[in-house]
Structure 1
Amino acid sequence: MHKLAGIELGGTKTVVVLGAQGRIDERIEFPTTTPTETLDRAIDAIQGWRDAKPVDAVGIASFGPVRVSREAADHGFMLDTPKPGWSGAAVSGPVAAALGCPVAIDTDVNGAALAEHRFGAGRGCESLVYLTIGTGLGGGVLIAGEPAHGLLHPEIGHVRLRRAPGDDFAGTCAFHGDCVEGLIAGPALAARLGRHPSRAEADDPVWELVAHDLAELLAMLVLTVSPQRIVVGGGVTGKQPHLLPLAVSRVPGLLGGYLRDCTRERLAGMIVPPLLGEDAGPMGALVLAARALDDRIAAVRVAAGA
């Protein structure tokens, strides 16, 4: 069986893993600092594993926005991002150059979506949305089991939605103010609550406003993407488990009876936490590595046939 390595490059921390699809054998975690320091640490970790075990391919599941189109001249480069020092950084290129093996890159949320689709809460679903609500808010979309790309890739965290009546919080997004990331991601919640979101009481009235905003996002996804499953992960809903059921209970009212299948009971089974927990991103990076290896093998076969 091929040995694969994965890099989950997050805005706060980086996770480097060794394993196979559906299995993590080794793991190293460290803070995400500068591009050079962070990628060098990831490369060193993989090189250390290669000294004892061959690593056949690497997958990178990265925060973004990042250029994922293989045809683009800046494929594998970070675009404009709030993470200081990372705008314009080369992400996949240094890894491929240092390790000399196939490398694939996609967003961290597309990677997590692939893992949950293959091994977790999205098994058996052709269409799936994976949301993560933590330091930022991101969304990965799978259609027919494949990540949605297009012009760039989904940037669900930066949509603007209807605000709750009387909610005048300005939002914290450096680009859009009160987009949904600027309203309910970790920094926004810290500003709204006056303390770290994990330490806030479940009955704090601010959660009603947050549930409204999250419900608006969920209703929008149901109407636009029509997913069979929405998986909601990240530290915010993980530390405040009451939030997701509170938001889901509001979605039927927002839909206004338009979709008869979207009852409260049906939505409670359709909008769920991840089964893989914090392993979704690293396991998704391993899925991307397997895809990179498959692509290389297919290219070699085509070349040999020619």
Structure 2
Amino acid sequence: MDKVLLGALEAGGTKMVCATGYADGTVVESESFPTTTPEETTATCAAWFKDKGIAALGIGAFGPTAVNPSSPRYGQILETPKTAWRYFDLLGNLQEPLGIPCGYDTDVNVACLGEVTFGCAQGLTDVVYLTIGTGVGAGVLSGGKLLHGMMHPEAGHIPLVPNPDDPIAGDGACPYHKNCLEGLIAGPAIAKRWNGKKGSQMADDPEAMDLLAGYLGQALATYILCYSPQRIIIGGGVGDHTPIVQLARAKTAEVLNNYIVTPEVADLDTYIVNNSLEGKQGVMGCLELARQALEG
């Protein structure tokens, strides 16, 4: 299996990352393409993989998307703000021209899988991977399996108690929920609050970081109470380029208020951590998904 070439596709809302590699996580080559129309984008990706000689393809898709194989919409993008992609059969439009086994899951679930297989969560069975960037998404491993249920976790949209000093309290940037985590902490919320600035541009502003860390701490406490993970891993542009992960540890402890007493929560520095695979966790997770698809 280690010598069998596999394919990986990180299907994002702004770009598609196509890669080849091996079951040990080695990435051989990769190339990215802009996400345009569904037909054009999938044709471009399928053409890139067509002559690579891959035996299987792992796909991590932006969501919401149908990840349950028993669903009649399995492999389709669901209610996304990208209207042209709603109910488009992403999986089918890749699997049909390639004619190979394909594994399919969400982009954040495969990032979680990458960290569990190759990164800082190896050997763990219950993990939350959170990405904070243009949006907020969560991948959850529970009992050694990626969590799906009726769909998949949309834990970036949990409601929070807004900070009364927040200028966008009650009017966050999420078009669906005004006080959800994504609407208060993701890139568009930062831009709305601070005159178009990015998270990295606000990283040295202690008041701004305290505000964002407070929201993140609320969310992490909820994940701890609901999922009981053995580790929480945080990535994404906002997570990677600001100090909110470090600051949110104390905020999480405040919300929990000593209710959870475990060795993990007693050592938040090793419990709530930044991602460990230099931005490759998604591609590497897709390679593992492809390996699983090939083995059936």
TM-score interval for Structure 1 and Structure 2 normalised by the shorter chain? over 0.9
Q: Provide closer, same or farther for how the CA distance between residues 283 and 166 of structure 1 changes in structure 2, counting only shifts above 3 A.
A: same
- Corresponding letter in the other structure for 2:237: G
* 1: CA distance, partners of 2:147 / 2:84: 27
1:214-233 CA distances to partner (integer Å, 9 max, x unpaired)? Answer: 00011001111010010000
Q: Which amino acid aligns with 2:95?
A: A
1:167 deviates by 2.7
Superposed CA offset, 1:10-59 (max 9, x none): 1222110001121110100122222112211111110132xxxx211111
**Structure 2 residue aligned with 1:136:** 135
29, 48, 51: which is aligned to 1:45?
A: 48
Please list the CA deviations of residues 106-156 of structure 1 after superposition, one character each: whole Å capped at 9, or x if unmatched: 000110111100110111211000000111100000012210001100000
* C-alpha spacing 1:293/1:264, structure 2 compared with 1 (3 Å): closer
Shift of 1:206: 2.1
| Pair 1:164 & 2:167 matched | no
2:244 equivalent in structure 1: 243
Partner of 1:299: none
Counterpart CA distance in 2 for 1:152 and 1:229 is: 23
- The Cα of 1:97 is off from its aligned counterpart by 0.5
TM-score (norm 2): 0.94
Shift of 1:204: 4.7
Q: Does 1:217 align with 2:216?
A: no
Q: 2: distance between equivalents of 1:201 and 1:247?
A: 14
Match for residue 292 of structure 2?
A: 291
CA separation of 1:213/1:89 partners in 2, compared to 1, >3 Å: closer, same or farther? same
- TM-score scaled to structure 1, two decimals? 0.91
Query: Which segments of 5 or more consecutive residues in structure 1 lack a partner in the other structure?
Result: 296-306
Give the Cα separation in 2 of the matches to 1:206 and 1:218.
Answer: 18
Does residue 105 in structure 1 map to residue 108 in structure 2? no
The whole-number CA distance in structure 1 between the counterparts of 2:294 and 2:199 is: 40
**What amino acid is aligned across from residue 123 of structure 1 in structure 2?**
Q
Q: Secondary structure at the match of 2:130?
A: strand
Matched residue SS, 1:250: helix
The corresponding residue for 2:233 is: 231
Contact persistence 1:252–1:262 (CA under 8 A): no
Structure 2 residue runs of 5 or longer lacking an equivalent are: none
Name the residue aligned to 1:281.
Answer: 282
Q: How many residues are paired up?
A: 290
Aligned to 2:234, the other structure's residue is in SS state strand
